[in-house]
Chains A and B, each alone.
Chain A
Amino acid sequence: MSSRYFGARIRRNEDEALLTGRATFVDDVQLPGTLHAAFVRSDLAHGLLRGVDAAAALERPGVMGVFTAADLGEYWQPGPLLVPPAPIEGLTFHARTQVPLAREKVRHVGEPIAVVVAESRYVAEDAVEDVIVDLEPLEAVADVRAALAEGAPVIHEDLGSNLAAHAVQTKGDYDAARATADLVLGRDFTYDRGVSAAMENRGVLAQWDERSAQLTVWDTTQAPIPIRNGLASMLGLSESQVRVVAPFIGGGFGPKIMMFYPDEVLLPWISMRLDRPVKWIEDRFENFFSTTQERGQLHEAEIALSSDGRILGVKDVFVHDTGAYDPYGLTLPINTQCTLLGPYDVPNYYSEFRVAFTNRPIVTPIRGAGRQQGVFIMERLLDLGARELGLDRAEIRRRNFLSPDAFPHDHEILFQDFAPLVYDSGDYEPALDKAIELIGYEPEGPVQSEPGGASPAEDGGEGTDGEDGEGSSRRKRLRGTGIVSYIEGTGIGPYEGARVRVEASGKVCLVTGVGTQGQGHFTSFAQIVADQLGVGVTDVRVVTGDTREFHWGTGTFASRGAVVAGNACHAAAVAVREKILRKASEILEVAEEDLMLTEGVVRVQGVPDLSIGLGELALRSNPLRGAVEPGTEPGLEATSYFGPRRGATASGVHAMVVSVDPETAMVEIERYVVVHDCGTVINPLIVEGQIHGGVAHGIGNAFYEELDCDSEGQLHNASFMDYLLPTATDVPPIRTAHIETPSPLNPLGIKGVGEAGAIPVAALFAQAVEDALKEWAPGLEVRDIPLSPNRLFALIEEARAGGGEEGA
């Protein structure tokens, strides 16, 4: 089988629609007679709901209804537990899932209390102001540590405390390993929250059609099939009566997963009640409250090392902030727990976490999904260990890498997919070597200043009004390098499916159930199928995210689209190829082995005149007369499924050079290198794009993006004016290189890549900044992320005033 397209830099099929404004996003669907919804949301993080007076709102012209929890009757139900907890021995877990509208109390700022429906969004928002909400304030707890303290206000009273979960996973005997260690280092670390900030906010348009008894929901979801199934069940409809469409989605990054957000649950119900289409499009301000967030964790971590830098064991005890509810189970803390182990041989591990409810918006995965935090802890411990032992930072990693013959490697703990954490394949040293080469890392210290060097963004503009004439910046700039490693568990099950059909035109239609949010599935899936069927990539029309087109599937998350759906596409294409060759063999009266499938035509090797086109073959596979033989099916079509036994382990090394202005604490990234292993690469162009975007996201998390939330649970920076996303001048050019260790867990050898870029950036930032400041601010340690310029400035001052305080 030739692979003409798999692995090639193919330009994307979906781009023309997106570039011309023709691509349809949820808010672009405009139906006649549509009503518009707006939410009355809680101003308080914690309070008792005494009453809602909607009389004035209902009198406003254009208002068609105001609904509260009381109006929902039996439809009012807490949302589903999306991911049950993994069967960890001794586990405590309390599920408290979000409600469609607050009933007795509110548990975070922005929690919806009522929904107003009007003839226009403008009128609906006017009417929101008319609704009078009687809230009795309760003491709020926004800080995850305070939430678990004795006497803290309890968010779900029936639980008696804010403890949502507690779990311990261990491997070997950490205490025994610690007793033999030459060096034991312990520190406290914090990793704070951020938002996903997809450029498209969330939105839902629900249309109930009374005549056909059909509900159609356009939803910015990453998982349309689970949403269809859930809505049908909640509304008492057959799944065949509910169609959920996730059209073009303007970025997902996790929070657009099958959340059953209040709006997703309410709009279909309202549309059925009012018999009108109803639309709600989240605005950016709402997005900071009504869409899920991630990453708040506090860690107390310890590493036990031998004098030559070998890891003897790691102990990590952490608290994970789940916000007001915990619908996503334990995926995040388990990801943290597992990803901490990284590409290293860690013989002894003790990991304990508690999950706490807080009066803050709900926490579910965002690109990286708990992995960032684990990588940050491990990489920081290795950096500190290397410093203490006088070892080179790259060398301490190299000494602890799992060797290429260690696979499959069983870490003896459970992963988020309930399967044992077993790495399928990998080879870590070549990635480290490549990154060292590309970044120009010198073991003895920072890279040398490169006047006119590799980074085109360096110097330039700012220098023009300065007085320097010496080639270096006029302000003091201290350079530092960082180099870190990580792994990412990707491509977990359960399964995805795909249907491939050759049409009478000779073109191919490929349908899969996953949603797509910019990852290039319209192209990468087409490449996989085109190779099998001998057609061009543009001859394969890919349909995703429409439950009318495909019935089975889960969704796009956990870097699994290409791995799981991609292999399902491959399997379906292989089955159709077999049908093509069988049919052509009958018609041409030639053995299948003598047939070739290229350029949309089945040809006979060595007989140029004897051939049949795919379109003709498709027609003859679906005859108007004659019978379909028993045991065969009409048409050139096949549906296949793929479910991996467990996730494929991707890995990588990131390196960067920063320059720090020690007086202003401004950090500039001069160079950035990613060496990545995502198994076999379907489309390098798309993989590079995924990595670039992930790194930019990681840079935001590491340095710019911080939710300024006070102890009352009030957010002070709910806008893009104040919550700073990285811009084109903040993200450096990123150089990428690939290492390829195919996954043995799927026929195509693919590992996921969607989240990879974002995962190690904070760890890298911390190391590079410390390296830059090691002489200016001796003893400075970065233990908290995000490391904003303000926080870094304070750290510099502290270190210069008397040396960094030693950690716990």
Chain B
Amino acid sequence: MDATQAVAIRVTVNGERYERSVEPRLLLSDFLRQELGLSGTHVGCEHGVCGACTVLLDGQPVRACLVFAVQADGSSIGTVEGLERDDGLHPLQAAFKEAHGLQCGFCTPGILMTMVAFLDEVPDPTELEVREALSGNLCRCTGYQKIVEAVEAAAAGLGGKP
């Protein structure tokens, strides 16, 4: 296949349906940011280590820099822009604010998406479980401690609104 020959794809992002024609080599991260204008998904390393670009692909956290947009054809994608609820911040977002779980905020969207999926799977984690789940996301500002506190608080239902 010619890497520059456009291919039609359909995706659902945060509940909205999109149809676009994209080059097969276009990364999902670039697709979300540039084609759909969803720039909350950040790109930190483009080789799958830092986790800043983490999104949910059919409910599973994936590195959007390691997925081509064409691979997401027919899928449902969740990004940070879809976290907020009608009544305000998602409890995890609220917990991050409460615990000062972010500084520059660049890695934050990827961490939120990773932790949303993690808390779905492990609703009542230990600190070590939180740290292990978080260890695939790099943050240079916080030293992780207040992120861990935020996730624990969210898990305990303390951080957010009901």
Contacts and interface: CB of A to CB of B under 8 A. Distances in A.
B59 interface: no
B40 A20 contact: yes
B100 A21 contact: no
A757 B47 CA distance: 29
Interface in B64-106: 79-81, 83-84, 89, 93, 96-98, 100, 102-106
Interface in B36-59: 37-47, 49-50, 52
Given A11-B100, A199-B104, A25 B42 contact: yes
A251 B145 contact: no
A731 B23 CA distance: 41
B93 to A, nearest CB: 4
A460 interface: yes
Interface stretch (A90-98, A99-107, A516-524, A578-586): A516-524
Contact of A733 (B46, B107, B145): B145
Interface stretch (A467-475, A541-549, A691-699): A691-699
A188 interface: no
A200 B45 contact: no
B21 interface: no
Contacts of A15: 96-97, 102, 105
A681 to B, nearest CB: 14
B131 to A, nearest CB: 4
A460 B52 CA distance: 28
Contact of A21 (B34, B79, B132, B140): B79
B153 interface: no
B145 A461 contact: no
B127 interface: yes
B20 to A, nearest CB: 15
A20 B99 CA distance: 16
Contacts of A755: none
Contact of B132 (A17, A199, A721, A729): A729
Contacts of B128: 456-457, 460-461
A455 to B, nearest CB: 10
Which size bracket describes the interface of B in this complex? 35 or more
A251 B140 contact: yes
Contacts of B47: 284-285, 719-721
Contacts of B146: 688-689, 692
A405 interface: no
Given A728-B134, A729-B135, A517 B97 contact: no
Nearest to A457: B128
Contacts of B109: 21
A283 B136 CA distance: 19
B143 A250 contact: no
A161 to B, nearest CB: 37
Contacts of B11: none
A407 interface: no
A519 B100 contact: no
A30 to B, nearest CB: 7
Interface in B110-162: 112, 126-128, 130-132, 134-148
Most chain B beta-carbon contacts within 10 A, residue among A14, A284, A285: A284
A284 B49 CA distance: 11
Interface string A699-739: 00000000000000000000111000101110101100000
A251 B104 contact: yes
Contacts of B52: 199
Interface in A1-45: 11-12, 14-25, 27-28, 30
B44 A18 contact: no
B43 A696 contact: no
A695 B146 CA distance: 13
Contacts of A17: 105
A255 to B, nearest CB: 12
Interface string A190-215: 00000011111100000000000000
A135 B74 CA distance: 48
Contacts of B136: 727
B24 to A, nearest CB: 11
B140 A728 contact: no
A122 interface: yes
Contacts of A720: 45, 47, 49-50, 138
Given A199-B44, A201-B44, A719-B47, A696 B132 contact: no
A518 B104 contact: yes
A155 interface: no
Given A692-B143, A727-B135, 14 more contacts: A15-B97, A16-B89, A18-B108, A19-B96, A25-B42, A198-B106, A250-B107, A284-B46, A285-B47, A456-B128, A457-B128, A520-B103, A690-B103, A733-B148
26 contacts: A11-B97, A11-B100, A12-B97, A20-B40, A20-B80, A20-B83, A20-B89, A24-B39, A28-B39, A122-B25, A197-B140, A198-B140, A199-B44, A199-B50, A199-B138, A200-B44, A248-B104, A248-B105, A248-B106, A250-B42, A253-B140, A283-B46, A688-B146, A692-B146, A693-B143, A728-B131
The 10 closest A-B pairs by CB, nearest first: A21-B40, A518-B104, A250-B106, A18-B105, A692-B143, A696-B143, A720-B49, A518-B103, A28-B39, A728-B134
Interface of B: 23, 25-26, 33-34, 37-47, 49-50, 52, 79-81, 83-84, 89, 93, 96-98, 100, 102-109, 112, 126-128, 130-132, 134-148
